[in-house]
């Protein structure tokens, strides 16, 4: 690890040693990472990954940290902060989109992986582009949202995604159309192929900016009303089971407010596990196991965690 640190320093790639990961995720849980790399360019990002592979050091690509849970021991390797990338947004007017009706055109928006999803939505609004309203308020980055095919209020990333540029495990940079990404409920091909998303292109339509803004504000108001945004969490804790809703099942089992240590099922929304203060990864996992067991016993539904646990 010392050799890797020396190379990062020699090549001008910023990093911090023993960085507390609780400061870099919305759950506010997690021990220190051996190295927390802060690449500012696509080239630096690719170089950090190459160095890790050359030296047999494991690495983890981090966005906004909004759907993950770090272990209390932290991470024995390199956590790469994609939000440090200075990659913005590009607009391409009047582009063809696969599957579009004859004569139908879209505007394309190209966004870097480390860009906050909310910033992309705001930029689309400012250019009078519609299609991303559902994503406003999702607390993640473009790369993270594509990686898990994030969605809300009837929309998913796959609905507006045109293509993705990514770094393969072999070190090649390729671009793939949406159809090749195996996008489904909270899943993409990147979970299996280990590719590093660099940027994504979205196809959006021209719209009425007042209507776009009104829809964004409406959905944000729903989030504020229904979700425990005042407490640290990783968003929806469990995936939606076929034929039911996780939050409703948990509430039906009388688990609203149920807690283990510093972690609890939210009083406001049973689909969220929240950090009441001082919660550990062990608290959250124990609580999730208890909730799953009770729901399984009382309803027959087997809940699957939506949050991703990053092993130390």
Residues serving a catalytic function are: 186, 236, 306
Q: Where are the beta strands (DSSP E) in 82-223?
A: 89-95, 106-112, 129-130, 151-152, 155-156, 161-167, 173-177, 196-206
The CA distance from 29 to 24, in Å, is: 9
The CA distance from 260 to 226, in Å, is: 23
- Cβ atoms within 10 Å, residue 57: 17
The CA distance from 278 to 6, in Å, is: 35
What is the DSSP code string of 37-76? Answer: E---SHHHHHHHHHHHHHTT--EEEESS--SEEE-TT-EE
Between the alpha carbon of residue 55 and those of residues 2, 51, 52, 75, 120, the distances in Å are: 11, 6, 5, 16, 36
Tokens 């996780």 belong to: 246
What is the DSSP code string of 105-122? Answer: -EEEEEEETTSBHHHHHH
Between the alpha carbon of residue 278 and those of residues 30, 267, 281, 288, the distances in Å are: 11, 18, 10, 17
The CA distance from 261 to 245, in Å, is: 26
Nearest to 125 by CA among 219, 199, 230, 224: 219
Tokens 């671009």 belong to: 175
């Amino acid at each position: 690890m010392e050799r890797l640190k020396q190379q990062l320093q020699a090549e001008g790639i910023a990093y911090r040693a023993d960085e507390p990961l609780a400061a870099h995720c919305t759950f506010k849980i997690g021990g220190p990472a051996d190295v927390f790399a802060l690449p500012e360019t696509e080239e630096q990002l690719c170089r950090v990954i190459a160095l890790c592979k050359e030296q047999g050091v494991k690495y983890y690509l981090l966005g906004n940290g909004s759907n993950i849970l770090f272990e209390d021991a932290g991470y024995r390797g390199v956590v790469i902060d994609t939000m440090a990338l200075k990659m913005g947004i590009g607009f391409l007017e009047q582009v063809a989109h696969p599957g579009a009706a004859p004569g139908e055109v879209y505007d394309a928006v190209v966004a870097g992986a480390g860009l906050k999803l909310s910033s992309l939505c705001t930029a689309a609004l400012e250019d009078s582009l519609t299609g991303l309203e559902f994503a406003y308020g999702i607390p993640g980055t473009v790369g993270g949202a594509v990686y898990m095919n994030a969605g809300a209020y009837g929309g998913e990333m796959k609905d507006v995604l045109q293509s993705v540029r990514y770094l393969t495990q072999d070190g090649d940079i390729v671009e793939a159309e949406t159809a090749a990404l195996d996008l489904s409920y909270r899943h993409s091909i990147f979970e299996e192929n280990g590719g590093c998303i660099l940027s994504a292109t979205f196809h959006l339509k021209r719209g009425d900016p007042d209507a776009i803004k009104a829809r964004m504000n409406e959905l944000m108001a729903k989030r504020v009303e229904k979700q425990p945004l005042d407490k640290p969490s990783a968003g929806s804790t469990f995936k939606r089971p076929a034929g039911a809703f996780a939050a409703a099942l948990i509430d039906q089992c009388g688990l609203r407010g149920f807690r283990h240590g510093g972690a609890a099922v939210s009083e406001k929304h049973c689909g969220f596990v929240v950090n009441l203060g001082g919660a550990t990864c062990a608290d959250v996992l124990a609580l999730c196991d208890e909730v799953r067991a009770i729901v399984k016993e009382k309803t027959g539904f087997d809940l699957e965690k939506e949050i991703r646990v990053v092993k130390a």
